[in-house]
Amino acid sequence: MSIDLKTIKHISKLSRISVDEQKAYKLANDLNSIFKFIEKLNELKTDNIEPLTSIAETTLKLRPDEVKSKDIREQIIKNSPQDNEDYFVVPKVIE
């Protein structure tokens, strides 16, 4: 299998990471060498194996739904790149 530039463009769109031609070319090279290495897994037959989805075999615990962090609005907003009063500001989304 080989990952071409078109696939890189597609993944970059899904990842929301912009790539120019030069970067796409480099990524295609890197990803191909990594996938060549990953493809070793095809040697193994795994038809009847249950996938391991969680290493900690516990059931999730329930807890009361209580507010524990109070009065941190200002601290949270302070970390935003752009804000207006109590809102996060983003580029205009409605024309």
Partner 1 sequence: MSDITKQSLSELVKNIKDKKLSSEEVTKAFIDRSEKSKELNAYITEDYSSALEKAKKFDQKPNLNLKLPGIPMAVKDLFCTKNILTTAGSKILNNFVPSYESTVTQNIWNEGAILLGKLNCDEFAMGSSNETSFFGNVQNPIDKNLVPGGSSGGSASAVAGQLTPITIGTDTGGSIRQPASFTGTVGLKPTYGSCSRYGIVAFASSLDQAGPMAQNVKDCALLQEIISSYDPKDSTSIDFKRNEYSKELTNNIKGKKIGIPKEYRVDGMPKEIEELWQKGIKYAKDCGAEIIDISLPNTSYALPTYYIVAPAEASSNLARYDGVKYGFRAKGENLIDMYEKTRSEGFGAEVQRRIMIGTYVLSSGYYDAYYLKAQKVRKLIKNDFDEAYNKVDAILTPSTPSSAFKIGEKKDDPVSMYLNDIFTVPVNLAGLPGISIPAGHDAKGYPLGLQIIGKAFDEQNILNIAYAMEEKINFKNKITDWWIK
Kindly list the residues in this chain that would bind partner 1 in the complex (CB under 8 A). 3, 7-8, 11-12, 14-19, 27, 30-31, 33-34, 37-44, 46, 49-56, 58, 60-61, 63, 69, 72, 75-76, 78-82, 88, 90-93
Min separation Cβ 74 and partner 1, Å: 9
Q: What 3 state SS string does the chain have?
A: CCCCHHHHHHHHHHHCCCCCHHHHHHHHHHHHHHHHHHHHHHHCCCCCCCCCCCCCCCCCCCCCCCCCCCCCHHHHHHCCCCEECCEECCCCCCC
Nearer to partner 1, 42 or 84 (CB): 42
As measured in angstroms, the least distance from the Cβ of 66 to partner 1 is 11
Minimum Å gap between C-beta 61 and partner 1 is: 7
